[in-house]
Amino acid sequence: MALPTSSPSPRLDRFEQAMNSLYGSLVSIENPAEWTPPPKSGGHRGRYLWTDAFGVVNFLTMHHEYNICGIDKNIDNRYLVLADRLVQTVHDVLGRTRDGRSRLPGATDANPLGGGLRIGKLEDRGSDGDGQYHHYLTVWMFALNRMTRASGEMKYNRQAIQLAKAVHPKFFIDRAAAEPRMIWKMNMDLTAPMVRSEGNLDPIDGYVVFRLLQASSMEAGDGEVLAQEIGDYRRAMNRKGEHFVSSDPLDLGMTLWTAHWFSEQEYWATNLAEKCFEQIYNLFEINRYLERNIKFRLAFREFGTSMGIQCQSEANTEKDRSVNLKCYSDAIVAAWDPYMELSISDGLTPEDLRPITRVMYASALIPGAFRAGYLAKEPATAPEKHK
């Protein structure tokens, strides 16, 4: 199968263009510390948790590329400051009720995340209305952890742990049981389930992200603050047994991204990565997915696959087939490049999906801070105490 490989401009240029299209002209901001993110993330009151979580991590990638990698030694720390401003804005909007008058139940000024964070769905009610998703919350916790890794300030990781402690019990059924189950979606104040089924990746997401939070906590001398919660996720993973790998491009890519954190350390992650490799080959080579009419595909879901492949290929010290699969990652980006240039007016991407598409396009171009070890050497994770 002939795969598209050409790109119109250097990846960092396109990365910055994608971020500018969502957050405004970043280099022209005179005082980053006073910047207010424009309400363009595609959610209620302009904020959407998944999109802005990717936005935070992408800002950290820009900070690292410009300030650490020596591309422009004269640039200030604006992207690190902008990431902080985006964090504060999300907490102020999605950590409050929809009318903005009060914090979510359980939150205080000292603990603004004590009530979780709303998704930011436009609709108030209904099955697709506003509420709280476990997998959105863990992505936000990851973004806060990366803020600590990039800035050296523990306040972000501690905020993530406060969020973890607040929401974790709400998403479990029979938490103390030998085989606990999870809930996919809770209502806005975490008092009742909206969707009782268990998300495919929820136990794995929680297990990995909570391990990362705890590793940073231990490095700072705060201790194993999430040991019990990590044990809950491990038991939920054991209950599920062999993990299902979806053929949905976004689910597949995020599975591969999640597994890459432990794919050379723990059997479950190595095995899961292998299953992802097989699914990617089946999807793109056997089923010839990339030859389908692009009008019937969703760019942001494919960008998830691209990001996952790149993170996994960089994580493996031995050159295995994850590196060989990188051609599919490059082909996805190249296939969508022309449409990203015209994404404001071409009509190919629905208007409500343009913010998430742009921010994930940037992450597919340069996974950067989504990748283990990119910002700095990762702290050692504590050995498992719960089986």
Q: Which amino acid is at 23?
A: Y
Amino acid at 321: R
Instruction: Judge contact between 363 and 302, C-beta under 8 A.
Output: no
Q: Are 131 and 190 in contact (CB under 8 A)?
A: no
pLDDT score of 74 = 54
Range with the lowest mean pLDDT among 71-80, 172-181, 183-192, 334-343? 71-80
Contact 38, 346 (CB under 8 A): no
Q: Residue 5's pLDDT is what?
A: 45
The reported pLDDT for the residue numbered 261 is 96
More confident residue, 109 or 1: 109
CA angle 55, 57, 59 (to 5 degrees): 70
* Whole-number pLDDT of residue 279: 92
Q: Which strands sit side by side in the sheet containing 132-133, from one edge to the other? A: 132-133, 185-186, 193-195
Q: Identify which of 268, 168, 230, 272 has the alpha carbon closest to the alpha carbon of residue 382.
A: 230
Tell me the CA end-to-end span of the chain in Å, nearest whole number. 44
- Taking alpha carbons only, the member of 242, 321, 243 closest to residue 285 is 321
Instruction: Tell me which amino acid residue 62 is.
Output: M
pLDDT at 4: 43
**What secondary structure, in 3-state letters, does the chain show?**
CCCCCCCCCCHHHHHHHHHHHHHCCCCCCCCHHHCCCCCCCCCHHHCCHHHHHHHHHHHHHHHHHHHHCCCCCCCCCHHHHHHHHHHHHHHHHHCECCCCCCECCCCCCCCCCCCCCCCCCCCCCCCCCCCEEHHHHHHHHHHHHHHHHHHCCCHHHHHHHHHHHHHHHHHEECCCCCCCEECCEECCCCCCEEECCCCCCHHHHHHHHHHHHHHHHHHCCCCCCCHHHHHHHHHHHHHHCCCCCCCCHHHHHHHHHHHHCCCCCCHHHHHHHHHHHHHHHHHHHHCCHHHCCHHHCCHHHHHHHHHHHHHHHHHCCCCCHHHHCHHHHHHHHHHHHHHHHCCCCCCCCCHHHHHHHHHHHHHHHCCHHHCCCCCCCCCCCCCCCCC
252 vs 316, residue with greater confidence: 252
pLDDT digits (tens, 9 = 90+) for 216-239: 999 999 999 999 999 999 999 998
160 closest CA partner among 190, 130, 183, 140? 140
Say whether pLDDT at 318 is over 60. no
Identify which of 242, 241, 218, 214 has the alpha carbon closest to the alpha carbon of residue 230. 214
Give the rounded percent of residues in the chain with a pLDDT score beyond 70: 90
User: Mean pLDDT throughout 97-120?
Assistant: 96
Residue 95 structure tokens: 């950590």
What pLDDT does 346 receive? 58
pLDDT for the residue 6: 45
Name the residue with tokens 């974790």.
Answer: 168
| Per-domain residue ranges of the chain | 108-241
Judge if pTM exceeds 0.85: yes
Mean pLDDT of 124-132: 90
Q: Is 339 left (phi over 0), alpha (psi -120 to 50) or beta?
A: alpha
pLDDT digits over 50-73, tens only? Answer: 999 999 999 999 999 988 766 665
Q: pLDDT band at 368, cuts 50/70/90? A: very high
The confidence score (pLDDT) of residue 321 equals: 57
pLDDT tens-digit map of 342-367:
655 556 788 888 999 999 999 999 99
Strands 172-173 and 181-182: antiparallel
CA atoms of 163 and 160, how far apart (whole Å): 5
Q: Which residues pair with 181 in a beta bridge?
A: 173
Q: Kindly report the average pLDDT of the chain as a whole number.
A: 89
